[in-house]
Amino acid sequence: MAEKESIHSKKECLRIKLMAEQEVALLHQQLLAARQALTKAQTDNRKLWWQNETQVPRAPEVASPSAVIRRNTVQPGIPLT
């Protein structure tokens, strides 16, 4: 009886080990695919950044409304000029 339990236990252990190895292989494939996608996205990003920096003329910067308000606000302790 103990021998049957031992054999059953070993089979179960091997089954679990095989499932774990299959899962590791699948996760490895997913990791590889994610790395490849990241590399492609980074390459595309660099190309777009380079095109933006070298080919598109920059528009003059426009002051935001909050910057205009701050500039026109009297601040205590600062003399008006």
Please report the sign of the dihedral spanned by the C-alpha atoms of residue 39, residue 41, residue 43, residue 45: negative
Residue 55: predicted pLDDT: 82
How far apart CA 77 and CA 1 sit, in angstroms, is 94
* Distance from the first to the final alpha carbon of the chain: 101
Domain ranges of the chain: 2-51
* Contact predicate 80/74, CB 8 Å: yes
pLDDT at 1: 86
Residue-wise pLDDT tens digits, 36-80: 999 999 999 999 999 998 886 666 666 666 655 655 555 566 555
> Which pTM was predicted?
0.55
